[in-house]
A and B are shown apart, each in its own frame.
Chain A
Amino acid sequence: MIVRVHPASGVPIYLQIELQVKHAIAAGALRQDDSLPPVRKLAAEVRVNPNTVARAYQNLERDGVIRTVPGGGCYVNGQSPGLLKSEKLRRLKPLALQLAVEAKQMLVAEEDAVKLLKESFGELGRGSEERAGDEG
């Protein structure tokens, strides 16, 4: 798994790792039941503090994105297992708000912002589509 971090960007490194993992899953680069490298190995490859990687993995597990197995090892979960749709939307709300705020600041029209959003989905490919069978 290739993870690139920008330590000087002002974004916490654990967050960058989390986002990249989520991005990889969303884009289909990581599939369900794929394994993530062990904490120390990823830390060594990326040259970051193992505590940072550990925190990222913890957060990902808390968010239900990955699971850890008792014998060690982290695996990618099926897309959003067991979360209510309402909970998912609740989590996305701040990001949506941020997009709206920025767009408004820059005097970008609503439909242009929505178009941007659609394009982003398009870039990610089919992995982002809602699956039938999610709890409503």
Chain B
Amino acid sequence: MSDFVVETHALTKRYGSLAAVDGLEMGVERGSIYGFIGRNGAGKTTTLRMLAGLSQATSGTARILGMEAKRDQVGILERTGFVIDTTLLPWMTGKDLVRFNRGFFPGWDDGLVRRYAEALDIPMNRAFKRLSQGNRTKLCLLLALAQNPELLVLDEPTAGLDPVVTDQLVRVLVEDFANDGRTILMSSHHLSEVERIADWVGIIDKGRLLLEARLDDIRSNYRRLRVVGERLPRSTPEALAVSSAEGVTEYVVKAGAEGLAAELGSQGAIVLEVLPLNLSEIFLVLVGKESHVPVEVLA
């Protein structure tokens, strides 16, 4: 049984009649990098804000590092680095912010401050309000990293950043942070970064988790079958989605592609192709307009 650093059960956040987060069941394993992906407005930020204790859940539970969100929030915040909003105190410089932040964390490491300031090339003597978006994000990340947390929770860290800065961030995350059992939970709608570094992905849409799986599992076992034939089954046990267009039926399965292909073939259907799926393709299947079959959450 894995050790989850973040787990939610039936986590829900309603605004009036609208459920921004709707019965979310999510688990982040210790030592992993979890890519929390979804469209704009899918509920990623709302979820992370509940984990940070900034928002109150309407119902359900969220546990971080074994502690309950909101109730044990101070304990959580001592061991977790949150970068939710990249807005800090406007008049403070990087140096001021380090000084301000240091006092909150006994495990603070000034050596890390120096290292990251250099690695990320952050101007530490400029007032925050005069920093570019890229520098702001980098500074927020620096503050979170120098805290020496066990868990890093990042809300769309690469949003609005150019490719060079994005690359710098990714490098710092994988080189310095991701190891020794430390965990990263990051939300994004930039799939390419997630696809590079995530162990796990959780795809959220309209407040619900559509899929939670290992990325390598998706690469190794998830397949798209393109089949032509009569009276083809409308669903199969392992199918995530089934769709038909122009005489071709597509099955997106999470395992057993070969077996299904053989079975359909034996029933007289012609299997045109068995294709692998990358993250972008899975995402579009589940979240894009082409999905037809309701999908289940995987363990």
Q: Which residues of A contact B (CB under 8 A)?
A: 5, 7-14, 39-41, 43-44, 47-52
| Least Cβ–Cβ distance between B166 and chain A, in angstroms | 10
CB pair B219 A49 closer than 8 Å: no
| Least Cβ–Cβ distance between A106 and chain B, in angstroms | 13
How many residues in B have their beta carbons less than 8 Å from beta carbons of A?
A: 26
Given contacts A48-B196, A50-B174, A51-B33, 5 further A-B contacts (CB under 8 A): A12-B215, A40-B174, A40-B175, A47-B167, A50-B178
Looking at the complex, which one of A39, A41, A47, A50 makes contact with B170 (CB distance below 8 Å)? A47
State which of B1-9, B53-61, B91-99, B275-283 sits at the interface with chain A: B275-283
Summed over the interface, the residue pairs from A and B with CB atoms below 8 Å come to a total of 63
The 11 sampled A-B contact pairs (Cβ below 8 Å) are A5-B196, A7-B196, A8-B280, A10-B276, A10-B277, A11-B219, A43-B174, A44-B171, A47-B171, A49-B33, A49-B196
| Least Cβ–Cβ distance between B252 and chain A, in angstroms | 13
**Contact A49-B277, Cβ < 8 Å, known A40-B175, A43-B175:** no
Asked if B68 lies at the interface with its beta carbon under 8 angstroms from chain A, I say no
Residues of chain B from 241 to 299 with CB closer than 8 A to chain A in the complex: 275-280
Q: Per DSSP, are chain A's interface residues mostly helix, strand or loop, or mixed?
A: helix
Residues of chain B from 162 to 190 with CB closer than 8 A to chain A in the complex: 167, 170-171, 174-175, 178-179
Q: Which residues of A contact B276 (CB under 8 A)?
A: 9-11
Q: How far is the CA of A50 from the CA of B276 in the complex (A)?
A: 24
Q: How far is the CA of A12 from the CA of B197 in the complex (A)?
A: 11
Q: How far is the CA of A14 from the CA of B178 in the complex (A)?
A: 16
CB pair A51 B170 closer than 8 Å: no
Tell me the nearest residue of chain A to B217, going by C-beta. A12
Q: How far is the CA of A120 from the CA of B192 in the complex (A)?
A: 32
| Least Cβ–Cβ distance between B248 and chain A, in angstroms | 18
| Least Cβ–Cβ distance between A124 and chain B, in angstroms | 26
Q: Which residues of A contact B196 (CB under 8 A)?
A: 5, 7, 13, 47-49
